[in-house]
Amino acid sequence: MIELTINNIKVKAEDGMTILEAAKSVGISIPTLCHMKDLVPSGACRICSVEVEGYRNLIPSCAYPVSGGMVVDTNSPRVRRARKTIVELLVENHPQDCLICVRNKNCELQDLSERYGIREHRFAGESKAHAVDISSASLERDPAKCILCGRCVRACHEVQKVCAIDFTNRGFKSTVTTPFNIGLNASDCILCGQCILVCPTAALREKSSLKTVSTALLSKEKYTIVQVAPAVRATLGEEYHLPLGTDVTGKLVAGLRRLGFKKVFDTNFAADLTIWEEATELINRIQTDKPLPMFTSCCPGWVKYIEHNYPDMLKHVSTCKSPHEMEGAVAKTYYAKKLGISPKDIFVVSIMPCTVKKFESTRPELSEESHPDVDAVLTTRELVRFFNIAGVDFADLGDDQFDNPLGESTGAAAIFGASGGVMEAALRMAYFKLTGNHLENVELEQVRGLEGLKEASFYINGKEINIAVVNGIGNVGPVLDDLRAGKSKYHFIEVMACPGGCVNGGGQPIHQKTEKVMKRMKVLYDIDKKMSNRRSYENESIKTLYKEYFKEPGSHISHEILHTHYHPRGK
Amino acid sequence: MHKEILESYPKNDKSTLIPLLQDIQSVYGYLPQEAINDIAMHTGLSRSRVYGVATFYNQFRLTPLGENIIRVCRGTACHVKNSANLLYSLENTLKIKAGDTTRDKKFTLETVACIGACSIAPVITVNDDYYGRITTKDIPNIIKKYQGKPKTEKQTKETVGA
């Protein structure tokens, strides 16, 4: 323990703590921009500068460790002047279009400008002019709004290890961009959107599909169907100031109905369906000596990553479409037939916690007779904007139920949104299929939580099954390298590109704290716990679906509609 | 061509990046996209990082040089003698910005901090020729001189490398 003084307050701090952390522990707030929790400090932005007695220069508190007897002033006139100047310089080189900006009222630069009372332009000068990169289906990059804090670069390099963007050029000309400044669509970016979650301004944002969706809703020819991913119900409440970890499923359904969708379905239904197909594929692979381990294919970011970086390993990826694509495919085949509507008149919208899903829905192979399985994808953030435009007062909505038959689901489907969930759900089903017995203890604690790589072994029918859960695409490299070297001992591996799984997806409400992720996961695990049916094979609607249409998992017709294939993509 | 240079460096050693970039640029006169990709593979760095370093330092070029290199001195003495005007005039005549190469690959325009010929300010150089005490009126004639001129010996050597 070390004792120091911050703003005349005696503070006890642990050895190795930074001044920023010590100040925070006694309720002193220091602004930060480039600082990222859990990563090595970079000290680039200087906004967290404080004055320390005996030091000539101001000290960046995010990067400086405390020492005994230190006397710190975080609020001296000199500190305030320095911070104000930094903010003024950033603001002057920033397009001041806050009123029409997507991050209006949710922007760290705006907050700082407010906090330090910037009321005039002191440094009018040349400002950056850059083209907006709208090339990708998922993300937009607006370098003019970039304040070069470097958080996206660090999320991309140090957390996700995709390394799609980096600082280029120098001084006034510096920008964060792709190699050779090409569009994101042509780069090896996996579009996971973790950069959006850390961006303090609107320099990185999702590409909005709101216009397409509202046009479809107004069209008389279109039969609009909406589906909601499991992770959205665990986070949407945050945008309406409901307590962290509130389950808003009922309100969400009611809100979507108010927007005018003809049917409100649940992606959880297709998650159960995915488990039927994927567990069958896994068992088939184990029994017939086909390539093992098998990787899950629910996460389109992960699929894009392996297509770019390890194309020789693509045979290990399950051929199952991701759940929302399956839901769309079922809606445009089985359900269309049932309704007597042509698939071209059905418009499927997915509400997703994810930015890559937008790209995924444009993949040509994910379509039925040239109609895309999913016509448009909205992120959680876009849905909030849609509710606002439509005058839906979310907090006051009553609870409503999903429509059937594509709305029934089991507890196993709900946990898809948390890292380890797909694995857990698949094992519940695989155990039953292999042994004929129900797995009694369905909660597999080994695959829950926030570690980067979670491993477990099970004995099913006397055979050892080794599984792994990769939490965050940054942890997948070693697993794939082992596999390439022929050293992999696993049978089944789940990969989710975003750390924590879909609850922390790139389309979720913007935050920077990991504690939120655990609370969001808990919502999904609680939904699972409350369900009477917790195993995908107990879903009655799916049993009917197979009886009436697909015959059995892995049948010819299910391969045509519920499975897909992958392409190697260049680096 | 650059493959041999890569092989002379140890694999997966991030610290070799800058010498590698320098050596490969000395072969081609610039850093072709393909070379940057290969350097990334060899050093184990990401392409974005290699590209970032290559664009950070002024010594690296990502576009091929033109046949003739025009350098405008922007040092203090030349600045006082209005070398900014010479630069604008060159930019307008060649229809490129400083740092760029004309479409026909005849000219590359660069600025330099000081050429060391302050006594004849303002100065521009074309390849190894010096032009001092000039005004914007002299620019078209100077350019005309090099328009049809074959490559000088030094550049020939560099372009053969590519």
- To the nearest whole Å, the CA of A378 is away from the closest chain B CA by 30
Confidence of residue A305 (pLDDT cuts 50, 70, 90): very high
State which residue of chain A sits closest to B63, comparing Cα positions: A180
Number of domains chain A contains: 3
Residue A487 lies in a domain: yes
| Cβ contacts of A170 on chain B, cutoff 8 Å | 55-57
Residue A81 lies in a domain: no
CB atoms within 10 A of CB A283: 17
**Residue ranges of chain B with pLDDT lower than 70?**
149-162
User: Over chain A, what is the mean pLDDT?
Assistant: 92
Residue A80 lies in a domain: no
What was the pLDDT predicted at A434?
Answer: 87
**Is A365 one of the catalytic residues?**
yes
Cβ contact, residue pair B36, A164, below 8 Å: no
Percentage, residues of chain A above pLDDT 70: 99
Task: Give the C-alpha distances (Å, rounded to integers) separating A123 from A86, A172, A200, A279.
Answer: 11, 15, 22, 62
CB atoms within 10 A of CB A549: 17
- To the nearest whole Å, the CA of B156 is away from the closest chain A CA by 27
Residues in a beta bridge with A307: none
CB A527 within 8 A of CB A252: no
Residue A414 lies in a domain: yes
Instruction: Point out the residue among A165, A169, A571 whose CB comes nearest to the CB of B55.
Output: A169
Percentage, residues of chain A above pLDDT 90: 74
Cβ contact, residue pair A179, B55, below 8 Å: no
State which residue of chain B sits closest to A172, comparing Cα positions: B56
Q: Is B22 on the interface with A (CB under 8 A)?
A: no
User: What are the respective helix, strand and coil percentages of chain A, to the nearest 5?
Assistant: 40, 15, 45
Residue A281 — φ and ψ, nearest 5°?
-60, -40
**Is A298 one of the catalytic residues?**
yes
Instruction: Point out the residue among B36, B49, B57 whose CB comes nearest to the CB of A163.
Output: B49
| Cβ contacts of A157 on chain B, cutoff 8 Å | 46, 49
Structure tokens at A409: 């689901």
Same-domain status, A55 and A70: yes
One-letter amino acid for residue A155 of the chain? A
Confidence of residue A514 (pLDDT cuts 50, 70, 90): low
> Which long-range contacts (C-beta less than 8 Å, at least 24 apart) are formed by A362-367?
A362/A137, A363/A564, A365/A564, A365/A565, A366/A321, A366/A325, A366/A329, A366/A564
Cβ contact, residue pair A169, B46, below 8 Å: no
Same-domain status, A184 and A237: no
| Cβ contacts of A571 on chain B, cutoff 8 Å | 37, 47
User: For residues B92 and A342, what is the distance between their CA atoms, to the nearest angstrom?
Assistant: 61
User: For residues A409 and A416, what is the distance between their CA atoms, to the nearest angstrom?
Assistant: 12
A interface residues, B as partner, C-beta within 8 Å = 157, 163-170, 178-180, 188, 571
Residue A567 lies in a domain: no
Same-domain status, A488 and A555: yes
Confidence of residue A289 (pLDDT cuts 50, 70, 90): confident
Same-domain status, A288 and A197: no
User: For residues A465 and A444, what is the distance between their CA atoms, to the nearest angstrom?
Assistant: 14
State which residue of chain A sits closest to B44, comparing Cα positions: A163
What was the pLDDT predicted at B158?
Answer: 40
Of A156, A189, A298, A320, catalytic: A298
Whether residue A440 is predicted with pLDDT greater than 70 in this model: the reply is yes
Buried b (16+ CB within 10 A) or exposed e, A105-141: ebbbbbebbeebebeeeeeeeeeeeeeebebbbbbbb
**Is A502 one of the catalytic residues?**
yes
Residues in a beta bridge with A454: A469
CATH classification of the domain holding A304: 3.40.950.10
State which residue of chain B sits closest to A177, comparing Cα positions: B48
Same-domain status, A370 and A504: yes
Residue found under tokens 């007597």: A340
Of A191, A206, A221, the position where a domain reaches its end is A206
What was the pLDDT predicted at B41?
Answer: 92
Q: Where are the beta strands (DSSP E) in chain B?
A: 68-73, 107-112, 124-126, 129-131
**A466: region left, alpha or beta (phi > 0 left; psi from -120 to 50 alpha):** beta
Residue A339 lies in a domain: yes
CATH classification of the domain holding A143: 3.30.70.20
User: For residues A89 and A47, what is the distance between their CA atoms, to the nearest angstrom?
Assistant: 12
Helix H segments across A193-352?
A: 194-198, 210-218, 249-259, 267-287, 300-309, 323-330, 336-339
Structure tokens at A378: 């909205």
CB atoms within 10 A of CB A437: 9
Same-domain status, A217 and A174: no
What was the pLDDT predicted at B162?
Answer: 33
User: For residues A198 and A508, what is the distance between their CA atoms, to the nearest angstrom?
Assistant: 12
- Give the number of beta-carbon pairs within 8 Å between A and B: 37
Same-domain status, A344 and A407: yes
Residues in a beta bridge with A177: A166
Residue A465 — φ and ψ, nearest 5°?
-115, 120
3-state SS track over B54-95: HHHCCCCCCCCCCCEEEEEECCHHHHHCCHHHHHHHHHHHHC
Q: Could you give the ipTM of this predicted complex? A: 0.88
Of A206, A360, A494, A538, catalytic: A360
Same-domain status, A216 and A192: no
pLDDT (tens digit per residue) in A346-400: 999 999 999 999 999 999 999 887 889 999 999 999 999 999 999 999 989 999 9
Instruction: Point out the residue among A164, A169, A170 whose CB comes nearest to the CB of B48.
Output: A164
Helix H segments across A166-266?
A: 194-198, 210-218, 249-259
Task: Give the residue numbers spanning the domain of A187.
Answer: 123-206
One-letter amino acid for residue A227 of the chain? Q
Cβ contact, residue pair B47, A163, below 8 Å: yes
Domains in chain B and their CATH numbers? 2-56 (1.10.10.1590), 68-147 (3.40.30.10)
Of A318, A322, A350, A488, catalytic: A318
CATH classification of the domain holding A58: 3.10.20.740
Residue A24 — φ and ψ, nearest 5°?
-65, -35
Q: Is B133 on the interface with A (CB under 8 A)?
A: no
**Is A281 one of the catalytic residues?**
yes
pLDDT (tens digit per residue) in A393-415: 998 999 999 998 898 899 899 99
Same-domain status, A469 and A548: yes
State the helix-helix crossing angle for B17-28 and B153-161, rounded to 10 degrees.
120
Of A160, A184, A206, the position where a domain reaches its end is A206
Helix H segments across A264-410?
A: 267-287, 300-309, 323-330, 336-339, 356-361, 380-389
State which residue of chain A sits closest to B60, comparing Cα positions: A169
Report B:39-68 residues touching A (Cβ under 8 A). Answer: 46-52, 55-57, 62
What was the pLDDT predicted at B120?
Answer: 93
A537: which residues sit within 8 A by CB, 6+ positions away?
A276, A429, A432, A433
State which residue of chain B sits closest to A158, comparing Cα positions: B46
**Is A357 one of the catalytic residues?**
yes
- To the nearest whole Å, the CA of B45 is away from the closest chain A CA by 9
User: For residues A206 and A136, what is the distance between their CA atoms, to the nearest angstrom?
Assistant: 10
What was the pLDDT predicted at B155?
Answer: 46
Instruction: Point out the residue among B36, B49, B62 whose CB comes nearest to the CB of A166.
Output: B49
Q: How distant is the alpha carbon of residue B159 from its chain centre?
A: 13
Structure tokens at A533: 């049916």
- To the nearest whole Å, the CA of B59 is away from the closest chain A CA by 12
Of A149, A177, A206, the position where a domain reaches its end is A206
Residue A570 lies in a domain: no
Same-domain status, A195 and A300: no
User: For residues A374 and A445, what is the distance between their CA atoms, to the nearest angstrom?
Assistant: 34
Whether residue A96 is predicted with pLDDT greater than 50 in this model: the reply is yes
CB atoms within 10 A of CB A286: 19
pLDDT (tens digit per residue) in A142-184: 999 999 999 999 999 999 999 999 999 998 889 999 999 999 9
A545: which residues sit within 8 A by CB, 6+ positions away?
A273, A330, A334, A405
Picking from B21, B46, B56 by the largest number of A CB atoms within 10 A of its own CB, the best residue to mutate is B46
Same-domain status, A354 and A498: yes
Buried b (16+ CB within 10 A) or exposed e, A291-330: ebbbbbbbbbbbbbbbbbbbeebbebbbbbbbbbbbbbbb
Residue A223 lies in a domain: yes
Cβ contact, residue pair A165, B51, below 8 Å: no
| Cβ contacts of A178 on chain B, cutoff 8 Å | 48
State which residue of chain A sits closest to B31, comparing Cα positions: A180
Structure tokens at A500: 């924590």
Q: Where are the beta strands (DSSP E) in A289-430?
A: 294-295, 346-352, 367-368, 371-372, 376-379
Same-domain status, A373 and A405: yes
What was the pLDDT predicted at A435?
Answer: 87
